[in-house]
Amino acid sequence: MDSKGTFAAMASLRRGLALLLLTGWMVAAMGSVAMYPCTSSPINEAAVCAPVKSVSNETLLIIASGENSPCSITFGHYACAQSTWLQVFKDDFLNSLYPCLSSKPISVMDSMYSILFFSKLHPNVLEAALEKFNNRVSHVPLSQEWNVIFFNGIWERMLQMPDATSPPILSQWLERLQPFVVNPKVFTCLHEKNTSCERLHKIVAALDGIYSTLKVEDQRNIYKGLKYYLTGGGSEQNCYNAALPSLSSTAWFANYLGSFMEHALVGDLQLFADEPTLQKFARDPVNLQLISNLSLPRETAVYYTSLLTSAPGFQLASLPDRLVCYLSPSAVSGLVRKDALSLARRITKNCVPSPMHRGSSEERPAPSLTTEERQVATLLVNKFERFPPETLNALGQAAVGLSMSQIENGTSNRDLKASLPSLSEVYGWNAEQSSAIVNKLFNSGYQILDAQNLAALGSLVAG
């Protein structure tokens, strides 16, 4: 073999060894990430690109001009091209490149190719390209595997920019990355990259800014990603340690879930922390402010309310209005009469559904009461012996807790008639209650002469 042949053979051997070593390292590093490899900067470009045959500037120019397909070369070719040569690609290059790649299975090298490729693009071009890409894919599902590969490269490129993790800059970038971050596996990627809790806090704060613009399915997917990050896919809780000042904040729900807590289930909360710790989180003023603006799943709201009210010395007056609908009987049993009336007013204001639009095409059936709601109402009503109009009106929805004895013996016919506007808006009457109240109304002289008189009975009409 001549010297040229020997040199070529040695070069080929070196490329092969480099690829073997890199592949072995990547397989080991992927671990639990399985099909979603994520890598962090810096990347050894010489080693990564050693096995990749270089492409010429002319080839890239022809592709950029549209004379040749962007699919005619590999992702490795783009990633290993000279940085100055890649500047020929404009803000539509992602729209052209992505379909070339998304139909192919990912390789162990693609994560590193992604970091190299995006690191060579000018930030202004990348920003414009992401905006065009977002407009195109907003209604098209992306490949989960390539979603993570692209995110990994763009994220690493973003971190190289000045003030990238400052709240306003991070918010802008996460808005550009919205098609990617709605994939829960992106948070698997962040977890495997050992993204700090401090940075996750900033990410959650930024995502909170676009929460209301996201589809419910996308909100739920981001929540799934956050849940994975915070539990490591198991039961180990992250981002809270009372002994470490940097991780000792009890505003944990606000810091690491934000508005996405609307999708948390009771079992999820129990994964995040043990019950004594959850009680600390539940009582934190920042978390309470957050909860006051969220619509939690019913079971979660009941559990959160129980975490609050089971704490020694907790005052129901400090319970957020949204949670008064989920009180347990034990939480109200010790109330004095004045506080019972105050709570009854809050229940009427916050827990009674909107009007049933009786007699219209929008009429909806009244919701049924849970056993706990009826028990709470009964306990509030039992603070009183007599029920004049001012008491019945103040009780509002809690009047559903009136027993048959209280209806028949604790209220006069005239008082019931005077309280009709309030009683007719109470939902959850059983047949015996509504029948007893209507009979007393008739005994008071109330007559049904027309549809208006019938409609005035409202929720009592079944009686």
Q: What is the pLDDT of residues 279-326, one digit of tens each?
A: 999 999 999 999 999 999 999 999 999 999 998 888 999 999 999 999
Give residue-wise pLDDT tens across range 221-268. 999 999 999 997 554 558 999 999 999 999 999 999 999 999 999 999
Tokens at 134, concatenated = 């977002």
- Residue 37 gets the label, from left (phi > 0), alpha (psi -120 to 50) or beta, of beta
Name the least confident of 16-30, 78-92, 180-194, 381-395: 16-30
Provide the pLDDT confidence category of residue 38 given band limits of 50, 70 and 90: confident
Report the C-alpha gap between 376 and 384 in whole angstroms. Answer: 14
Domain layout of the chain by residue ranges:
7-195, 213-323, 346-355+366-460
What pLDDT sits at residue 125?
A: 93
Mean pLDDT of 42-61: 95
pLDDT at 376 over 80: yes
In contact, 327 and 309? CB cutoff 8 Å: yes
Report the C-alpha gap between 137 and 97 in whole angstroms. Answer: 13
Please name the residue that has the structure tokens 């092969």. 16
Q: What is the mean pLDDT of the chain?
A: 87
Please name the residue that has the structure tokens 């709470």. 376
Burial of residue 366 (number of CB atoms within 10 Å: 0-12, 13-18, 19+) = middle
Mean pLDDT of 147-164: 93
What pLDDT sits at residue 32?
A: 37
What pLDDT sits at residue 57?
A: 96
What pLDDT sits at residue 11?
A: 45
Task: List Cα–Cα distances, 87 to 95, 177, 378, in angstroms.
Answer: 16, 21, 73
Mean pLDDT of 194-217: 94
Residue bearing the bigger pLDDT, 237 or 403: 403
DSSP conformation class of 184: T
Name the least confident of 65-74, 93-102, 136-145: 136-145
pTM: 0.84
Mean pLDDT of 454-458: 88
What pLDDT sits at residue 143?
A: 86
Neighbours of 437 (CB within 10 A): 25
Neighbours of 447 (CB within 10 A): 8
Mean pLDDT of 334-345: 94
What pLDDT sits at residue 14?
A: 45
What pLDDT sits at residue 250?
A: 97
